[in-house]
Amino acid sequence: MSGAGGEPTRVGVVGLGYWGPNLARNLGSISGCEVAWLCDASEQARERLAPSFPNARLTGSLDDLLADAALDAVVLATPVPSHAELASAVLAADKHCFVEKPLATTAADAERAVAAAQASGRVLMVGHLLEYHPAVTRLKELVDGDELGDLFYIYGNRLNLGKLRADENALWSLGAHDVSVALHLIGEEPVECTAQGASFVREGVQDVVFCYLRFPSGVVAHLHLSWLDPHKERRVTVVGARRMATFDDMLIEGKLTIYDKGFDEDTRSWGEYIARSGDTFSPRIPNVEPLRVECEHFIECVRTGARPRSDGRSGLRVVRVLEQLQHSLDTGGRATAAVAPAAG
């Protein structure tokens, strides 16, 4: 195991389909981090990645990783329905665990994974990638620094043609990102969750979902999620009392833009408001890969025992909202209140 004396931090990556190789590539390029195992149920997936990691051992079974006393951490990039069970097994074997988003498909399963982390004292981090995006970090600083004034509302557009999934709908696949960003920026859990959507391509799997969230402070959020759309959009708009901001991840430059726009009271006629349309400003955002920042944060937490920004509890909060939204979706758009807030 890694620790004092310059020992490397040894990680194993499980799930080498579309996303796992990106995690392995980033982890392998972090100084002092060694990808010791590559694991996938598919031999083809293992063989495809093996040449890039000549020193890694290959296996089709997570048990081999859990039995390796020299392994510090396991990174899970398997399909969503397997997340909570595999993460709990990793933590029960006293390994640190990074699990891709969302943490689980139900709040009850997510709670079990959080309990497993608590019992083992190991790090549990959920791959809510956008929380590690430098533009979101800057946006959060603007919100917390009261640069936008009191928050009024937030809306997210996450649209594209594909990737069409069978084991999760557009809410769980795309919405996990926007829900995590909304909770991160607003710093509250919603008191009302409503969603409507429709399945056009595959029966029972919603391709397009519209969500509405209302928070205790009065802030509201709307999410438009679709993998059946002619536009490719990845945009979050934040409207505050003093300024407004957009995070547009499709732009190469100006990903974050702040608009000095709003309404001011017209001092000439009491009770009237006039629109203010001032400067528009795009701060420089460091050109680093968010996945790299996320992986470095995980390894840092493994080494120091620090609590990750997107720890198990924050992953649980996202799952609770997704579950409420799914419930609303299943009942034709009825509003559901989020259950008792997660502690911590």
Does the footprint of ligand NAD cover residue 41 (CB under 6 A)?
yes
User: What letters, b where the CB count within 10 A reaches 16 and e where it falls short, cover 110-120?
Assistant: bbbbbebbeeb
Coil vs helix vs strand at 244: strand
According to CB under 6 A, which one of 24, 30, 36, 45 is a site residue for ligand NAD? 45
Coil vs helix vs strand at 269: coil
CA dist 72 to 11, 206, 254, Å?
6, 38, 39
Does the footprint of ligand NAD cover residue 217 (CB under 6 A)?
no
Does the footprint of ligand NAD cover residue 129 (CB under 6 A)?
yes
User: How far is Cα 21 from Cα 75, in angstroms, rounded to an integer?
Assistant: 11
User: How far is Cα 316 from Cα 319, in angstroms, rounded to an integer?
Assistant: 5
Does the footprint of ligand NAD cover residue 283 (CB under 6 A)?
no
Q: Which span (8-16, 137-145, 209-217, 255-263) binds ligand NAD, by CB under 6 A? A: 8-16
Does the footprint of ligand NAD cover residue 39 (CB under 6 A)?
yes
User: How far is Cα 244 from Cα 61, in angstroms, rounded to an integer?
Assistant: 49
CB of 307 to ligand NAD, least distance (A): 20
If the CB atoms of residues 62 and 154 are measured against ligand NAD, the closer one turns out to be 62
The pair of three-digit structure tokens given for residue 243, joined into one six-digit string = 């300024």
Q: Using CA atoms in the order 91, 95, 98, 104, what is the torsion angle rounded to 10 degrees?
A: -10
Does the footprint of ligand NAD cover residue 311 (CB under 6 A)?
no
Does the footprint of ligand NAD cover residue 58 (CB under 6 A)?
no
CB 57 within 8 A of CB 36: yes
Number of residues near ligand NAD (by CB under 6 A): 22
- Tell me which DSSP letter residue 343 carries: P
CB of 211 to ligand NAD, least distance (A): 18
Residue 28's CB: how many other CB atoms inside 10 A? 17
Site for ligand NAD in 289-308 (CB under 6 A): none
CB of 163 to ligand NAD, least distance (A): 7
Does the footprint of ligand NAD cover residue 127 (CB under 6 A)?
yes
According to CB under 6 A, which one of 11, 13, 16, 97 is a site residue for ligand NAD? 16
Q: Using CA atoms in the order 85, 87, 90, 93, what is the torsion angle rounded to 10 degrees?
A: -70
If the CB atoms of residues 82 and 237 are measured against ligand NAD, the closer one turns out to be 82
- Contact code string over 71-100 relative to ligand NAD, x by CB under 6 A: ------xxxx-x-----------------x
> Residue 98 is inside which H or E element, if any?
strand 96-100
Which residue of this chain has its Cβ atom nearest to ligand NAD in the complex?
17
- Chain residues in the site for ligand NAD (CB under 6 A): 14-20, 39-42, 45, 62, 77-80, 82, 100-101, 127, 129
